[in-house]
Amino acid sequence: MRTLLLCALFAATFTVAPAWAAGGEAKPADPVIEKTQAAIAKQDWKQAQDITREALMKSPGNADYHNLYAYSIRKGENPDMGEVFRHYNEALRIDPDHRNAHEYLGEAYLMVGNLAKAREHLQVLDRLCFFPCEQYTMLKKAIADYEPKQAKK
């Protein structure tokens, strides 16, 4: 009986988690994030940068904006990796548990050949994700794809 009760409690917890996590209400959409994601979907990195740069002038304490700005720079032509690292790190200073920033910062470290730092962010994601999350899976794959290329050098 006790096992059955614990199983029911466990199932109920995960059934209602999304509503509970959102405070019982859906979080209103952020127009800056929506516009940036639309630009990213079109791979219009300049537009994504322009949108998030302007948003950061108004809301410099927004971790999502720093993350998306760094992402759009990193994906664009000739990325300024100093700016990329600065904005990912700022996103993590504001929100140390920002999963996307950890994933993308790990990928940025792979771009500059720093496998050890990429693995550090994978370990952080392993701690942050109760079950393997998309960010953990994506960074793990990026690292796995990177390692054989390094072995050939």
pLDDT digits (tens, 9 = 90+) for 93-128: 999 999 999 999 999 999 999 999 999 999 999 999
Structural domains of the chain in order of their starting residue, each with its CATH number: 30-152 (1.25.40.10)
3-state secondary structure the chain: CHHHHHHHHHHHHHHHHHHHHCCCCCCCCCHHHHHHHHHHHCCCHHHHHHHHHHHHHHCCCCHHHHHHHHHHHHHCCCCCHHHHHHHHHHHHHHCCCCHHHHHHHHHHHHHCCCHHHHHHHHHHHHHHCCCCCHHHHHHHHHHHHHHHHHHHC
| pTM of the model as a whole | 0.80
In the chain, pLDDT over 70 holds for what percent of residues? 80
